[in-house]
């Protein structure tokens, strides 16, 4: 099958054999795809190699052969955001989530739009913690396992003054009491309502929101941690106590 003029974001690229790359992209029409880019590591292929950097927005032509497509050409459509430090780690984390949770060859326009929005927000220097919480919410929606953050599992409205955990199958579950560390693993109802309304919660609520969303993500990852989690050791180190307001990843 020939693929012509497909728009995509580059998620990841790694060396393959002596002169080639294996590239993962998130496409507007084809969903997540794996590409074989042959002969791109030579001195005459700098422009093509630059177009295959992570988070680059590209247009490409390829031929699908089995699980992977063979890349014929690719061009950058803009300049990828130049991220450093915590913002770069946040981009790596978000791309890895897509790689792990989005199936190949399954068009997911909501996820594509969410990744585009994340890329723009990171490039604009928006607060990392809130940027990633929005992306996690939108990614779960995009792959069909999103939650209603404004209502408890039984349908009652979330109480902004209460605390909640997130059940991956049923949504917010009220925490009653503080036994077994439930309070430390919960978020305020106020934070969940802010997430539902797409309004940034107070900075002190972002840590709890990160923890409850991470539990949901872990359930969908099937017990296999992300490499970015292992790289950071403790995700609370990213953005903790800084001007971004709460832990980011």
Whether residue 247 is contained in a domain is answered as no
* The predicted structure's pLDDT at residue 184: 74
Is pLDDT at 234 greater than 60 in this prediction?
A: no
Whether residue 181 is contained in a domain is answered as yes
> Tens digit of pLDDT for each residue in 184-226?
789 999 999 999 999 999 999 999 999 999 999 999 999 888 9
φ and ψ at residue 156, rounded to 5 degrees: -70, 145
Last residue of a domain, one of 76, 107, 122: 76
Q: What is the span of the domain harbouring residue 8?
A: 2-76
Whether residue 20 is contained in a domain is answered as yes
Same domain, 192 and 125: yes
What H or E segment, with its residue span, contains residue 222? none
Same domain, 105 and 60: no
* The predicted structure's pLDDT at residue 233: 55
pLDDT band at residue 156 using 50, 70 and 90 as cut-offs: very high
Mean pLDDT of 133-142: 98
Query: What's the number of domains the chain is made of?
Result: 2
Last residue of a domain, one of 52, 76, 100: 76
Whether residue 248 is contained in a domain is answered as no
- DSSP secondary structure of 103-129: PBT---HHHHHHHHHHHHHHHTT--HH
b/e code 53-84 from CB counts within 10 Å (16+ = b): ebbbbbbbbbeeeeebbebeebebeeebbebe
* The predicted structure's pLDDT at residue 189: 98
CATH code of residue 60: 2.40.50.140
Whether residue 143 is contained in a domain is answered as yes
Whether residue 249 is contained in a domain is answered as no
Question: What 3-state class would DSSP assign to 5?
Answer: strand
d(CA 164, CA 170): 12
Mean pLDDT of 13-31: 92
Is pLDDT at 37 greater than 60 in this prediction?
A: yes
Whether residue 245 is contained in a domain is answered as no
């Amino acid at each position: 099958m020939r693929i012509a003029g497909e728009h995509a974001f580059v998620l990841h690229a790694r060396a393959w054999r002596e002169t080639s790359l294996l590239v993962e992209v998130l496409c507007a029409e084809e969903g997540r795809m794996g590409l074989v880019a042959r002969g791109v590591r030579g001195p005459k292929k700098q422009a093509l190699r630059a177009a295959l950097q992570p988070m680059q927005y590209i247009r490409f032509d390829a031929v699908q052969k089995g699980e992977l497509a063979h890349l014929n050409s690719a061009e950058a459509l803009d300049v990828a955001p130049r991220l450093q430090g915590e913002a770069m780690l946040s981009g790596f984390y978000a791309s890895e989530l897509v790689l792990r949770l989005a199936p190949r060859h399954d068009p997911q326009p909501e996820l594509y739009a969410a990744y585009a929005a994340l890329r723009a927000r990171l490039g604009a220097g928006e607060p990392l913690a809130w940027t990633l919480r929005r992306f996690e919410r939108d990614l779960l929606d995009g792959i069909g396992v999103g939650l209603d953050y404004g209502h408890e599992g039984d349908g009652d409205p979330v109480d902004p003054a209460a605390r909640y955990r997130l059940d991956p199958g049923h949504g917010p579950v009220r925490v009653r009491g503080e036994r077994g560390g439930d309070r430390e693993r919960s978020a305020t109802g106020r934070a969940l309502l802010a997430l539902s309304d797409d309004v940034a919660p107070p900075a002190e609520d972002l840590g709890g929101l990160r923890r409850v969303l991470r539990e949901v993500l872990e359930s969908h990852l099937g017990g296999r941690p992300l490499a970015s989690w292992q790289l950071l050791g403790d995700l609370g180190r990213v953005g903790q106590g800084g001007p971004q307001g709460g832990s980011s990843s």
